Chain A
Amino acid sequence: MEVAVAVLTGLYFAVSIYLMLSQHIIRILLGTVTLSTGANLTIFAMGRITREVPPIIPDGRYLPAEGAANALPQALVLTAIVIAFSLFAFLLVLVMRSYQELGTDDTEAMRDAEPRGEPLPPLGY
């Protein structure tokens, strides 16, 4: 099970890096979403992955059964998903606004903050 998840994680990372190397913001955006999914899968694979024993404490016992699934990575992944999702929502709006305002989603053409061909700083007093 871990091997399958590890291969899947690798695939996610490969896809995300490919997308993030693009010049177009919308692809970079999809790349970052894929990257955070890959990160979540990494956390998930780092705990025990098991289908047999659910992490439920039986009546009258104080510890879960031997070899039970690890609940902590799921809690971590849940937190990370919520955060990544909220950031994705923010970025989506930001990208849409900058597309409306700047009229391009090409990072090479987005040069408003660092315009090309700036004059030299004063060289003599």
Chain B
Amino acid sequence: MATAEKPKINLEDAFVMEAPALADWLIVAPLVVGFIFAALCLMTRKNTKLQPLIAMSGLVLILACVAGLFLHVLFNGTVIMAMGRWLPPFGIAFVADMLGATLALVAGIVGLATGIYALREADDTERRYGFYPFLLMMLAGVICAFLTGDIFNLYVWFEVLLLGSFGLLVLGSRREQLDGATKYAFLNLVATTLFLIAVAYVYGLFGTLNMADIARKAAAMEDVGPRLTIAALFFFAFAMKAAAFPLNFWLPASYHTPRLAVGAVFAGLLTKVGVYALLRVLLTLFPTDRDDLAISIAVVAAASMLLGALGALAQTDMRRLLGYLVISGIGIMLAGLALGSATGLSGTAFYTAHSMVVMTALYLMVGVIGAAGGTFDLNRAGGLYKAMPWLSVIALILAFSASGLPPFSGLWPKIYLVKASIDVGAWWLAGAILVSGFLTTIALVRLFAYAFWRPAREGASVGDAAARPIIAIGYPVLAGLCALTVIAGVYPEPFIQVADRIAVELMNPAGYVEAVYGPAQAADAAVSTGETTQ
């Protein structure tokens, strides 16, 4: 054996030598908790009394972990954890910066809210077929997609959340569900495969998959052509995920078909993962190519927000109306990405978090309306104002919040985005934001007018006994989500501070690289950027 003449190797060059601090483990905790509790739920799937208890404790634990992580990042800056002790760029890194931690926190809130609502909505059959395992695994996938620092790993998390969402979408196997799920599954699969092809090109061009490493090599690269191609391919793939115009047609075909709890968690989380990936790839990895793509992104953003809102106006079904509003919201988030200024990006960050909460709440609210009135059809609904006065208060708050009217949380990010558009002279983008807000107001106030104000039809039974459990569980969940949007609306200072910090971090990719590599190594790396990874 050759152990005798073993040369002295300095392990510190390649390995993490000391164990990470206890608080840093929070970054992988959502993944561990999500998968363990999903497995426990699967084991107890025949016991439909015990399984919800396990699932709820899992969701509460995940929320506790992401809340802890958010506070940790808020006070101590970006947290990084390298898997298997290998230092970047070799090991798979998990990186929680302010953007990732904030979105993970909101995802935890949305997951818990829909989990509670589903306690009454999902029936025993759906629980046996795995509602809670799918939900927990999808939530773990979404949170890990927000926190990973490795582009191939991001692909893996996309697939994890995709499989969880397929499972949730077909639960119940009604005709329209199968139809919607087929379209959703194929289009999302094509989008993820395109993303994988882009990852392959990234590996071929830079020889690395670590996002920080890509960022620093891309910044040093003189040749724009291949980098711009990759950035455009990423933009195409993630825009499809985020349902931006003209790649949005799978969303209104599928989101209204499953149970409302499932629609709510989809509307809150899935498209926003696409937006997050766009922000991460175009701002941290390829910032100069974002400048080249800015005008196309702006056009896509304006078209998404206007056509989404117009589509919402043309719907009779309340659930499909909300599907179009999701698309419209995606357009508003992309507007900040197109502008690329600090004001625009903090608007986007704030709007993304706001939209996750409000879209989830809107879907759950329509679920309660449907349960109470027995219909989702705007032509037939009515009479809820008298039957459920508190629900109409909630509905009005959510309608105003989604349209960006004061004093709720939609107002501030829109002000930021309009100001940022006018600052760079993009009056048409500012106009599109305002017009889409106006159209959204009409669509949602019409929903309010028909479902609440209009007296009930002859012989319609509003709020009968069968709907009681869903209504009873719907009120506290909706009240909690509404409280969030009201607080963010009337006391926006802390939320704006977080959004501003996210924008500063996104504008400064060097800071991300430095957080992953450590200050000394980042300086070394800046000197020898021509190195290969052989």
Contact A80 B196, CB 8 Å, known A35-B190, A112-B176, A121-B316? yes
- Chain A residues with Cβ below 8 Å from B176 are 112-113
Contact A28 B186, CB 8 Å, known A59-B2, A90-B163, A113-B253? yes
- Chain A residues with Cβ below 8 Å from B163 are 86-87, 90
Task: Confirm or deny: A76 has a beta carbon within 8 angstroms of a beta carbon on chain B.
Answer: yes
Contact B200 A43 (CB under 8 A): yes
Stretch in B389-397, B446-454, B483-491 with 4+ CB within 8 Å of A: B446-454
CB neighbors of B among A78-97 (8 A): 79-80, 83-84, 86-87, 90-91, 94-95, 97
- Within the complex, what minimum Cβ distance (angstroms) separates A10 from chain B? 12
Chain B 439-450 per-residue mask, 1 if CB under 8 angstroms from chain A, else 0: 000000010011
- Choose one: A20, A35, A42, A98; the contact of B179 (CB below 8 Å): A98
Residue of A nearest to B4 (CB): A60
Interface size on B, residues (CB 8 A): 51
A97 to B185, CA, bound (A): 14
Contact B204 A101 (CB under 8 A): no
- Chain A residues with Cβ below 8 Å from B162 are 87
Contact B179 A113 (CB under 8 A): yes
Task: Classify chain A: how many residues form its interface, as a range.
Answer: 35 or more
- Chain B residues with Cβ below 8 Å from A121 are 313-316, 378-379, 446
Contact B189 A87 (CB under 8 A): yes
- Chain B residues with Cβ below 8 Å from A32 are 186, 189-190, 193
- Chain B residues with Cβ below 8 Å from A101 are 173, 175, 178
- Choose one: B1, B166, B316; the contact of A118 (CB below 8 Å): B316
**B residues adjacent to A (C-beta < 8 A):** 1-2, 5, 7, 9, 152, 155-156, 159, 162-163, 166, 170, 173, 175-183, 185-186, 189-190, 193, 196-197, 199-201, 203-204, 209, 252-254, 256-257, 313-316, 378-379, 446, 449-450, 454
- Within the complex, what minimum Cβ distance (angstroms) separates A16 from chain B? 9
CB neighbors of B among A9-27 (8 A): 20, 25
A-B contact pairs, 20 of them (CB 8 A): A20-B190, A32-B189, A35-B190, A43-B196, A45-B204, A73-B203, A76-B203, A79-B156, A80-B196, A97-B178, A101-B173, A101-B178, A110-B179, A110-B182, A113-B253, A113-B254, A121-B313, A122-B378, A122-B450, A125-B449
Chain A 95-116 per-residue mask, 1 if CB under 8 angstroms from chain B, else 0: 1011001100001001111100
Contact A113 B257, CB 8 Å, known A73-B203, A90-B163, A94-B181? yes
- Choose one: B2, B179, B186, B209; the contact of A91 (CB below 8 Å): B186
A125 to B186, CA, bound (A): 40
A46 to B121, CA, bound (A): 48
A80 to B151, CA, bound (A): 13
- Choose one: B166, B190, B199, B454; the contact of A90 (CB below 8 Å): B166
Residue of B nearest to A61 (CB): B2
Interface centre among A35, A60, A112, by most B CB within 10 Å? Answer: A112
